[in-house]
Structure 1
Amino acid sequence: MEKAFELAEIKDDKKAQYASYYLKDEASYWWESSKILLEGKIITWEKFKEMFLEKYLPSYMQGQLKMRFLNLRQEDMTVAEYEVKFLELVRFAPEYVNIEAKKAKRFQQGLKPWIRSQVALLEIRNYTALVQKAMIVEGEKESTKRENEGNKRKFEKSKSDQGSSKFRGKFGKNGGDQNQKF
């Protein structure tokens, strides 16, 4: 909604009216009844947001979402998936990410230990740069893993080819000793 206000250049005194226009069904009924109770009072955008959140995202739920953010760990997600979840929950704990360096540090804390140890050495304080470096570390690990698996297969194939050629050399095409005559 804030983006729409900025784009449409909505003045502060009109933001609550503008936002309420987009409410549908139950939310629209809730707002109509709330306006009646507040008749004569000026409803600022901040007051509107406070009332809306109180109704549709009570403080206990906000607290739960804040705890989900604070306990968020990458675990079996990719860095990209972890970032999506991080950005989804970050708004519920703004005091932990209110400056760029705090946001980067919090993101880094939730990374898988092997990724975290690699990016920690870089001492990155910029969130976007940290996410990019974490993705690079993750991608390099996957690339190395694929490369090692390919080398392992080549080695095993080479080893099995050597074994079969030794067998043929000793026993010939017919499977018997080449010096043996029938």
Structure 2
Amino acid sequence: MGLGDEDRVRCATYLFGGDSRLRWEGASVALNVDTLSWTHFTEVFYSKYFTDEVRARLTREFMNLRQGHMTVTEFIRNFERGCHLVPLIANDAGAKWRQFLDGLRPILRRDVRVADPTTYDVAVSRALATEQDLIDIERDR
């Protein structure tokens, strides 16, 4: 059972702490938080906390995100954090897994592609398994 808009907003505002909570309370004075839709909440939140310049910079960082020396788990975490900034990718299943594959280290990307993933979840599972295989191979040397 999924959360309704009101529940999502309540959960998100509950997670605010300290200065963030105070800033949100100031920003939400003119809003009825009990009936605020999730879409409107995110619009208000992003306009308050992420200027256009910050969003543009974060979008560029996401589009250029590469695994490098990160573990697959760290890369997934960073990928998921940035993905919501680019709705054209986040809302297109094929674009999402292709962007994910493009960011993987070449040796992992090769093995994941060989598995021919058709979804992001399959690509993630295969990347995690491949990384573990490589760790096992190194340990056995």
TM-score interval for Structure 1 and Structure 2 normalised by the shorter chain: 0.7 to 0.9
Distance in 2 separating the partners of 1:145 and 1:49: 45
In structure 2, the residue matched to 1:126 is 119
Q: Deviations over 1:25-78 (max 9, x none)?
A: 12212332xx2xx9xxxx963444323321211121111111111011110011
Distance in 2 separating the partners of 1:20 and 1:111: 31
Cα 1:26/1:10, change in 2 over 3 Å = closer
One of 54, 63, 73 as aligned partner of 2:56: 63
Question: Where in structure 2 are the equivalents of 1:83-162 lying within 5 Å?
Answer: 83-148=76-141
Amino acid at match of 1:26: R
Number of residue-to-residue matches in the alignment: 131
In structure 2, the residue matched to 1:49 is 42
- Offset at residue 21 of structure 1 (A): 7.4
In structure 2, the residue matched to 1:78 is 71
- Offset at residue 79 of structure 1 (A): 0.7
User: Structure 1 length normalisation: TM-score?
Assistant: 0.61
- Offset at residue 93 of structure 1 (A): 0.8
Distance in 1 separating the partners of 2:80 and 2:118: 17
User: Structure 2 length normalisation: TM-score?
Assistant: 0.77
Unaligned runs of 5+ in 2: none
Contact map agreement 2:6 2:36 (CA 8 A) in 1: no
Distance in 1 separating the partners of 2:90 and 2:13: 32
Tell me, what secondary structure is at the counterpart of 1:92? Answer: coil
Contact map agreement 1:72 1:110 (CA 8 A) in 2: yes
Unaligned runs of 5+ in 1: 149-182
- Offset at residue 103 of structure 1 (A): 1.2
Contact map agreement 2:89 2:96 (CA 8 A) in 1: yes
Percent identity over paired residues:
24
Task: State the superposition RMSD in angstroms.
Answer: 2.8
Cα 1:29/1:108, change in 2 over 3 Å = same
